[in-house]
Amino acid sequence: MNEYRPGGFQILPPVVKNLIIINVLVYIASNFTGATISNFLYQNLSLYHWSSPFFRPWQLVTHMFMHAQFGVGIGLSHIFFNMFALWMFGNTLENVMGPKRFLIFYFVCGIGAAICYQSVMSLGTPNPYIPMVGASGAIFGLLFAFGYLFPNLMIYIYFLFPLKAKYFVAIYAAIELFFGLQGSPGDDVAHFAHLGGMLFAFILLRIWSMSGRNINRY
C-alpha cells in the first residue's frame, strides 16, 4: 500500500468527513423525528442476530450508522466518542491509505466485527430481540491499523499521559478480551465486535502487504 499524499495532509479528509456527517444525520433521524420513524429505523437498520425474525442482510452494514438512543444508557456519548475516534485515527489513516482504500478498510472492519460478534453469540443462547448498534467495530479496526502503521507514535491518554500507539492498542485489546470472556450480565458492550474489528484489520493489512502493496510503517 503506497503512501497517498496527492494534496498534502488533510485535517478532515473526505471519507472521514462524510462518514461523520452520515452518522450524525442518521442519529438525528433516529432520535428526534418522532417515535414512528425512530422505531422503524432501529428495527430495520440495527443488527439483530441472524436467528432473529428481525434480521436482514443489509444490517451487517447499516448497524454501523446506528447508535445508542438519546437519553437511554450511554446515549449521546456513544456516537460522540465513536465520531471523535473516527476523526482522531481516521484522518491520518485516510491520508496514508487514500480515500478509496480507506473506505474499503473501514467497511471490511465493520462487517468483519459484526460477523465475529454474531459467531460468538451463536455459541451461546443469543437474545433474538436485542440488536447491536454502533460504528465501534470499524473504529477498533482503525485503532489497530493506527497502532500497526504508527507503532511508536505517542497517544496522550486524557490529553495528559503519553503512551506509544502499539502499547495503547495492546492494552485496549487485552481489556476487551477480558471483559468479553467475563460476560458480566449487566455489560451491554459488544466486546467481541471490537476484537473482530481488530482481527479483520490485521487480516486485511496482511493481505495488502503480501499482495505486493507496500505498507509504510513509522
Q: How many domains does the chain have?
A: 1
Rounded Cα distance between 26 and 67, Å, is: 9
User: Could you give the count of Cα atoms lying within 13 Å of 68 in the half-sphere of its Cβ?
Assistant: 16
In a domain, 57, yes or no: yes
Catalytic residue among 49, 67, 136, 191: 136
Regarding pTM above 0.85, the answer is yes
For the domain that residue 66 is a member of, what is the CATH number? 1.20.1540.10
In a domain, 198, yes or no: yes
| Average pLDDT estimate for 112-133 | 91
pLDDT confidence of residue 73: 60
Rounded Cα distance between 69 and 81, Å, is: 14
Indicate the range of 74-78, 105-109, 210-214 predicted with least confidence: 210-214
In a domain, 44, yes or no: yes
Rounded Cα distance between 144 and 113, Å, is: 13
In a domain, 7, yes or no: no
Rounded Cα distance between 95 and 110, Å, is: 20
Residue 186 has pLDDT above 70, yes or no: no
Q: Tell me if residue 194 is catalytic.
A: yes
Q: Tell me if residue 63 is catalytic.
A: no
Residue in the block written with cell 449521546: 76
What's the pLDDT tens digit per position in 51-84?
A: 999 999 999 999 999 998 876 667 788 999 999 9
In a domain, 8, yes or no: no
In a domain, 20, yes or no: yes
In a domain, 38, yes or no: yes
Catalytic residue among 63, 67, 78, 194: 194
| Average pLDDT estimate for 104-121 | 96
pLDDT confidence of residue 2: 47
Place 213 in a pLDDT band, splitting at 50, 70 and 90: low
In a domain, 217, yes or no: no
Structural domain that includes position 179: 14-210
